[in-house]
Structure 1
Amino acid sequence: MHADLPAQLALPPAPLVFVDLETTGGTFGVDRITEIGIVEAGPQGVSQWTSLVNPQKPIPAFVQQLTGIDDAMVRNAPTFEELAADLLDRMNGRLFVAHNAHFDHGFLKGEFKRIGMRFVPDVLCTVQLSRAVYPAETRHGLDALVERHALVPSARHRALADADLLWQFWQHLHRAHAPELVRAHVERVMRRFQLAAHIDEETIERIPAGCGVYVFYGDDDAPLYVGRSVRLRQRVRSHLTGPRRSAKDLRLAALVRRVEWRATGGEIGALLAEAQLTAAVRPALNRAPKSRPGDARGAPWLHAGAIAIEERDAATGERAFHVIDRWQYLGTVAALSDALALPASANPASFDLATYRILAERLARGLAFTPLTLDAPAHAAF
């Protein structure tokens, strides 16, 4: 069924699919989909699609009572695998809109993954959108939206009927508010799962939450940018998505093809690793360090040999030891006993200004460290 798109709707750049599912229960990986309903809205107009789905397992009695979908209705329905190719084509490249979108997106993502297909649309949750637009309201469930905004349900707890309520809510927002306001709220609550080139949300979720460094690479695997953060995953995501991106971030997102990262066990480790990586790979978009008053090239090393600086990552609790010798950062290890696997000493002729800048003042202020010997690390009391 097709209809013309109402005028003056502030659609995002991608067309929209309003999606609702009925399932055998609420547990990902255990329960299965019994019905899918989709309302598609875009420049070509509005259309609807729905199908029962054979879950290949019994539907619990309380779910049958809630949805009206029983075992007999789905017995001869197509399985998800039989629907998957057409369904993915129907939703691919469109903004996925659902109420409590974590549920619907999570079920579909799991079903596609089970049969070896990748499903990474950008996602907009209408619960979060309602909270953003109407912060004074306390209830944002679908029944509350129906009551508050005079939406017209054709049924409840059936997939297409509930998807249509989301489409009605979307239209209400554009009748009741300026397009610029709606766009701003949509941008604020939207979750971008396809972030840049081949970097998607699954990649981002593998990045540690705590301190670390990252490298963005572009075409031909050329290093573009080295950065650090005490919230590594959040920082990488912020480069690639969000309404507050800088011009530099917008340019970076257009160029990035892949990202590498390394946990550093703390903020000092992130500073040291960032300086080391920047010097090693010479990324195109990092600024060259400027000279500062007080820089002391060749400043004397005031210790008998290498030292280890212990840190704990505030976000993860992980412990790390950063090994330094003669103002050179030799690496980070998880235990003092592992320090002997690093070079026994630095090149006496070398002086790393970046390491000096990071550590000289901290050590002068009494930053605790453990002296190391060639034979074994000495466990000095801090």
Structure 2
Amino acid sequence: MYAILDIETTGGKYNEEGITEIAIYKYDGHQIVDQFISLINPEREIQPFVVNLTGINSGMLRNAPKFYEVAKRIVEITEDCILVAHNAQFDYRILVTEFKRLGFDFVKETLCTVELAKNLIPNQASYSLGKLVRSLGIPVTDRHRASGDAIATVKLFKMLLDKDSSKKIIQESIRLSPKLQLEPRHIDIIEQLPTATGVYYIHRSDGEIIYIGKSNNIKKRINQHFTNSNQKSKKIQLHAAAVTYEATGSELVALLKESEEIKRNKPIYNRALRRTIFTHALYSFVDEQNYINFKIDKVDGRKKPITTFSNRDSAKSFILKAIEDYQLCQKLTGIYKTKSSCFKYDIKECNGACIGKESFEDYNKRAEDLIKKNSYKNKNMVIIDKGRDIDERSAIYIENGVFKGIGFFNLNYQINNIDVLESFITPMENNRDTQHIIQSYIRRNKRLKVIQLNSKQ
């Protein structure tokens, strides 16, 4: 649990500032579960430059509560929370100083979104809150007021959690949670999980991730882990202290995140899933008569496939459907072994490429359509899929045929070029597994929206 806050002060000498406004949002990693916003009478003068910056003046604060009147509420809302702020060192110091004046020691673990952003979103022109969130497409209102800045920090922190593929933030949070030092009940863990699509992480009490999975119903899948009697499930049940999750909305995003994060974190009970997830591929070659031929074969790392498959049966089903959809020759697709015409030609359903009756130019146009449809080689494009909320969509970004990463964007945010995309995309590794995941998902989801992008100038 996190307490994300912003504090406005009077300005003045170090450790002599007073608080003029405070906003705290209690955030569980997915949504705000509590909030506290208040002006505060600092019982001292506000520096003129601060008045100009925030718009808060002494007249506005004359009837506002003094700090000691809201101190109890601040303690309550931040209990068992890690404090999160943009430049956390400043906000935490101000709070500690105010509580010290009351004779109370206020001690909390803190996270600074400036430091997190420098690590997870490098090479930004500025890490000031206003400039950073604008560059990332995060809407911000009431800049330099506690509530506006705190909400912007919540949205920034949500993006940083998405970009933290090593899950260091979450693991540290679990390690520090006093509730998890008690013996957890699996039924209590399940109760707090959603029925949403996403990636889930099973943790030990020290925060270490012992298993990562993907599901279209996270609650149901975790219930299976905790009730199955196979050997792996029993081991997971023995060590599971907490389950965290990331809702994705999109099954494709969940599959890509699962693949990336298993490789990065190497959970002890995911060993089987670290292997390559496909076995067969579709290759093409041009024969002596200049016809494009297709061949299903076992994956060969030295060759570049058009697309890949989890097994031979799915590859064969694909090519059989392709023969129908693109009017291809059974012989030239490797399905019908013969030295003469194929069976389809004999029943008048093949144009005769197998015996040279159809020109290779005409036949190859249809074969190339199949290749273009099922390969994103050299393409700049973004695949648009479901988001986590009704007004959000997910984006899977491919640049020059290379998978670059995933991100989420608001429907009001226009995607029309690569620069806009790169502002919110979380970079991910391009490998044969990700290519297989994307290609097989596109094959299964015919109505998926794909936007072709212009190259960078």
Interval of TM-score (by shorter of Structure 1 and Structure 2)? 0.3 to 0.5
Q: Which has the higher contact order (CA 8 A, sep 6+)?
A: 1
TM-score by length of 2: 0.36
